[in-house]
Structure 1
Amino acid sequence: MHISIARKIKLSPVRILSIGFALLIFLGAILLTFPISSADGTWTPFLDCLFTSTSATCITGLVTLDTGSHWNYFGKTVILFLIQVSGLGFMSFATLFALILGKKITLRERLIMQEAMNTFDLQGLVKLAKYILIFTFSVEGIGALFLSTQFIPEFGFAKGIYYSIWHSISAFCNAGFDLFGETSNKFISIVGWQRNPVVVMTLGVLIAVGGLGFSVWADIYNYKNMKSLSLHSKIVITITLFLIFGGAAIIYIIEHNNPATIGNMSLVDKFTNSLFAAVTPRTAGMNSIPTAEMMPTSRFFTMVLMFIGGSPGSTAGGIKTSTLGIIIMAIICTVKGKEDTEIYKRRISKDLVLKAFTIATIGLLVVASATMILTVTERKMGFSLEFLLYEATSAFATVGLTLGVTPFLSSLGKVLIILCMYVGRVGPLTIALSLSKNKKKSSIRYPEDKILVG
């Protein structure tokens, strides 16, 4: 009897991941609700705490309450813990504690780790988890060291060290949270540091490193020649470099004469801020120039960058760079009349191509549906369609950039954005698989027929 019940309640790896993220979100929300977390020692509305916890756990950065001014150090540390656990993946943390306690990692736990880390096979997962932890803490430590050279003179030793560690973790995990907001000047992100190249470039490098993916960095570490890199790493590196430097060039061209953004800056500051503006939508959420003051073309281009996001197995969100690479090459090969999708003289399976198109399509549907609903729930505030589309894209891609909509969301709007962030972090395909029933592959194949397309 007990055995049969145990079998019935067994969950698939995708369902465990979905439930795990949800539990972490609710735990964080409960802690943030208590007066011990707020700066003024009062209770914080649960919906705002749920929103903040979801944003931190889904490493997004959208907030209804200014992080720097509303929360005390306990609340800020809770948020940082959620960012770090989610950025690494709670299965990596679970593995760390299991290894410390001397416990063995079971096959079932390895399957969950495989799903969480988005890897190809089960071999070497524990070793990869150790590598992820060492690599993450090392990069975050170096980032904090660079930031401390600027923050300690500004805030003093203790606060400077705390701010350096806090923002290094937030940037590497692509979270987009910051502590620079004040009661009189909220939601300013790192605009106050836009003319400090050390801060801007350090945060930019941390975001790019975190968004590249742990498996790619393992490949780079073991690099001998181009042939030694996996196809996955080649695609990710190619798309990432194109988006960062191509994106920076486009933003510079559009914004270089805009006095509200980079128009009045020096050439060096224009370069660093353009580069940062191309890096942060993928998917960090910090901004060194006011997003609402950018030209409409730049705002639309930023939405495109947000939707693409970072790379699989990284701390970033979006549909991912490899998904974009597969879709582009599938289209090119189809136009050329090729039967197979080919990248770097390798053939991509039709199942993988179909999966890439599925992820992108579900993402577009989620963003479009969320935008449409926001036009109804937020109609009293009078936000334009562009502003609401920007908000929905930012939430789904777990970016955290906003045009000023988030603090003024209605209760229904907050719930909708929470759902978008959750779907975007766990993954639209993972959500769909977790909700579907596990069925055996059908042995029945129906007759093939034709439909006119195009």
Structure 2
Amino acid sequence: MPKRKKAVLSPAKILTFGFAMVITLGAFLLSLAPATAEGHRLGLIDAFFTATSAACVTGLTVVDTGTHFTVFGQVVVLLLLQIGGLGFTTVGTLISLAFNRRISLRERLVLQESLNHHQIGGLLPLILRVMAYSLTIEATGALLLFVRFAQDMPIGQAIYFGIFHSVSIFNNGGFDLFGRIYGPFSGLAAYASDPFVNLVVMLLIFLGGIGFIVIADLLGYRQNRRLSLHTKVVLTMSGILTAVGAIILLLIEANNPHTLGPMNGVDRIFASFFHSISSRSGGVSTVPVADMEQSSQFLLILLMFIGAAPGSTGGGIKITVFAILLGAMYAMMRGNRDIIFFRQRLPKASIIKAITQTWLAMFLVITVAMVLSALEDAPFLTLLFETTSAFATAGMSLGLTPELTEISKVLLSAVMFLGRIGPLTLAYAINSGTKKELLKYPEGKIIIG
């Protein structure tokens, strides 16, 4: 009898199932009695939502992390944030290397898919550098935040808060513990006028959002004396989006008595830049986003949808995809056939992938927002904001998430999951395999414009 072929999972399927397993384990641990304060045990849906939000480094919460969870529950959230930020494949590879286990070719392909790396060569050294960068940045952030928090709380609590928030913010997780001190869902409001905390948090969000490949490229610049096209595009677009977003927020919110209005000029500038950076996956805020003008909220929706860089801890359609879309528009308006960035031409496959990814994301966000509008009694802009935040794993909220019905929480959990692994990755996981085209059809013409 002929031997049956052993079923082999594709890298996309392994990524999808792996994240699902991490979320399931996290939900189980958070549903245990020791994870929550006495009398506040989480139901399965809320535990699943919280685990999904942490593993997908989103930051949307149905309960206040600082007051609802015990130290055990908070540590579970912290571990999910770390695994979700680095990627479970990265963590698994590091464990395998620690036990001197050989990394197979298939595992290397999964790592390549997870990190969005363009080649399979040099992956293991990159993984080691990723861990080194992450731990160094998180340790530095924890130390800096500890120095500031120690002025407001006991030393032990300041150490714990420094570690938790450095890991959460660098991984663009958006979870915070300040509800224990300043009241539930207070966020970083107490430090809205603190330039030191603002700068440290913005730097952590920025480093987590540009991606490990860009960080490696920057650190190697002294030796190589050149930056890759990917790094140039990511840094350029990050700077433009941050500056434009901050200026628009400052102009709109300057006279809003509930947000920037009561602040002085310097604090307004800090708050504007803070939310422009944080909206692209950071998930933390120093002023109440729910009290912003609707035009500001819509701007944040756009920034969240664009998101961070590929290979980073952030979500969204990715900043490089947005750059390609802008490049395509500019090239078409100039009558050019090619998209040129920094004197380099982009391949057609990258353009098609960018357009596909954008349409899949738009279809997902709009469809889910419409479904939520039928399930929830809330303004459509609020529902669109929460849905975009879930997809982009941004974590910003207008305060609706804790009030959602059970079915809406499950729906947003699915959106967070899709946003973290990427709609295209899920499509590849569902697809049984690519078929080789045997025919090349004749070219046809469609009238456009």
Closer, same or farther: CA 333–199 of 1 in aligned 2, 3 Å: same
Secondary structure in 1 matching 2:312: coil
User: Could you tell me the TM-score, scaled by structure 1's length?
Assistant: 0.96
Choose the corresponding residue for 1:122, options 120, 123, 139.
Answer: 120
- Structure 2, unmatched stretches of 5+, are none
Measured in 2, the distance between the counterparts of 1:49 and 1:269 equals 37
For residue 293 of structure 1, report the CA deviation from its aligned partner: 0.8
Question: Would you say the 8 A contact 1:34–1:42 is kept in 2?
Answer: no
Q: Distance in 1 between matches of 2:261 and 2:40?
A: 43
Distance 2:208 2:398 in 1: 24
Matched, 1:4 2:38: no
Q: Is the CA contact 1:207–1:279 (under 8 Å) kept in the aligned structure 2?
A: yes
For 1:70 and 1:142, the matched residues in 2 are separated by 28
1:404 corresponds in structure 2 to: 399
Task: Report the Cα distance in structure 2 between the residues aligned to 1:4 and 1:206, rounded to whole angstroms.
Answer: 50
After superposition, the C-alpha distances for 1:382-403 in whole angstroms (9 at most, x for unaligned) are: 3111101111110110111111
Determine if contact 1:181/1:189 at 8 Å carries over to the other structure.
yes
State the alpha-carbon separation in 2 of the partners of residues 36 and 185 from structure 1. 22
CA distance in 2, matches of 1:69, 1:414: 21
Number of residue equivalences: 449
* Partners of 2:40 and 2:68 within 8 A in 1: no
Residue 221 (structure 1) aligned to one of 208, 219, 222? 219
Equivalent residue of 1:154, what SS?
A: coil
* Unmatched runs of 5 consecutive residues or more in structure 1: none
Normalising by structure 2, report the TM-score: 0.97
Cα deviation, residue 439, structure 1: 2.7
Q: 1:387-426 deviations in whole A, cap 9, x for unaligned? A: 0111111011011111111010011110110011000000
Percent identity between the two aligned chains: 40
Compute the displacement of 1:2 (Å): 11
Indicate if the aligned counterparts of 1:307 and 1:393 stay in contact, CA closer than 8 A: yes
Q: CA deviation at 1:224?
A: 4.6
Please name the residue that 1:421 is paired with: 416
1:56 aligned counterpart, secondary structure: helix
1:167 maps to amino acid: H
CA–CA separation in structure 2 for the residues paired with 1:120 and 1:226: 19
* SS class of match (2:345): strand
Q: Quote how far apart the aligned CAs of 1:440 are.
A: 2.5
Deviations 1:354-407 (A, max 9, x none): 0001111111101100100000111xxx31111011111101101111111101
> 2:46 & 2:319 partners in 1: Cα distance?
32
Cα distance between partner residues in 1 of 2:412 and 2:395:
11
1:326 alignment counterpart: 324
Q: How does 1:97-136 map to 2 (within 5 A)?
A: 97-136=95-134
Matched residue, 1:58? 56
1:446 and 2:431 aligned: no
RMSD: 1.6
Q: Which structure 2 residues correspond to residues 6-405 of structure 1 after superposition, within 5 A?
A: 7-8=6-7, 10-40=8-38, 43-182=41-180, 185-224=183-222, 228-378=226-376, 382-405=377-400
Amino acid across the alignment from 2:338: D
More displaced 10-residue stretch of structure 1: 92-101 or 47-56: 92-101
Q: After TM superposition, give the deviation of residue 170 of structure 1 in Å.
A: 0.4
The alpha carbon displacement at 1:38 in A equals 0.3
Q: Deviations over 1:250-304 (max 9, x none)?
A: 1111111212111111222112111101011110111111001111111111111
What is the identity, as a one-letter code, of the residue corresponding to 1:286? V
**Aligned letter for 2:221?**
Y
Alpha-carbon distance between aligned partners in 2 of 1:177 and 1:152, rounded to the nearest angstrom: 20
Q: 1:334 to 1:77 in 2, by over 3 A?
A: same
Aligned partners of 1:109, 1:225: CA distance in 2, in Å?
30
- The alpha-carbon deviation at position 184 of structure 1 amounts to 8.4
Aligned equivalents of 1:196 and 1:173: distance in 2? 22
Deviations, residues 47-105 of structure 1 (Å, cap 9, x unaligned): 00000000000000001111111100000000000000110111111121111111111
Aligned partner letter, 1:163: F
Distance change (3 Å), C-alpha of 1:159 and 1:370: same
Q: Provide the C-alpha distance between the structure 1 equivalents of 2:213 and 2:328, rounded to a whole number of angstroms.
A: 24
Displacement of 1:153: 2.4
1:229 is paired with a residue whose SS is: coil
Residue 14 of structure 1 aligns with an amino acid whose one-letter code is: A
* SS of corresponding position for 2:152: helix
